[in-house]
Amino acid sequence: MKIGEKIRRLRIQNSLTQEELAERTELTKGFISQLERDLTSPSIATLVDILEGLGTNLQEFFNETVEEKIVFSKDDAFETVNEELKYTLKWIVPNAQKNKMEPILIELEPGGKSKEDSPHEGEEFGYVLTGSIYIYLGREKHKVRKGESFYFKANSNHYIANEGKTKATVLWVSTPPSF
């Protein structure tokens, strides 16, 4: 963290000139200028005074919040191909396994199927974008067509398969992450 740069941003956000901040803190305009350019460092007591003049405190100033990425492009996606099972898996939100849900796009070639997943805590949701698939849930088998969705508790073995003649694409979301 560049302290001077952050002080400058706060000063500008508060619509203050360097001179006005200097007056509020009983410092010189030259010191504020050097500080903002990271040419000098303030003592803790001086930093506390500056932050008070800017309407904040040490805790808020040093509390770094990382900007959460909201929008992801296709360049962000990670892709893997399983030639044996005839599918392509795209993690469309990078590092989603650290989140509460994990969305993927899975493309199944005719005759393709996903890996079988064992029972786990959580739920599964899918939406068929193209083609049609069968979802195997324990001993049950359900057909899901383009424009339809599936949703189930993941308390039995499960996988999806494309038994049709065209490629099937499914948006699949697992919670907690399991792909």
Angle between helices 44-53 and 18-25 in degrees, nearest 10: 120
H helical segments located in the chain: 3-13, 18-25, 29-36, 44-53, 58-62
Q: Which CATH class is domain 3-62?
A: mainly alpha
pLDDT tens digits for range 88-117 = 999 998 877 778 899 999 999 999 999 999
- More confident call, 127 vs 99: 127
Q: What is the mean pLDDT of the chain?
A: 93
Say whether 5 sits in a helix, a strand or coil. helix
Q: Read off the pTM.
A: 0.63
End-to-end CA distance of the chain: 36
**Hey, what's the torsion of the CAs at 17, 18, 21, 23, to 10 degrees?**
-110
Hunting for tokens 């952050």 — which residue is that? 6
pLDDT band at 36 (very low <50, low <70, confident <90, very high): very high
Domain residue ranges of the chain, discontinuous segments joined by +? 3-62, 74-175
pLDDT confidence of residue 96: 74
Give percent above pLDDT 70 in the chain. 98
pLDDT confidence of residue 99: 81
Q: Is the pLDDT of residue 152 over 90?
A: yes
Name the CATH superfamily, with its identifier, for domain 74-175: Jelly Rolls (2.60.120.10)
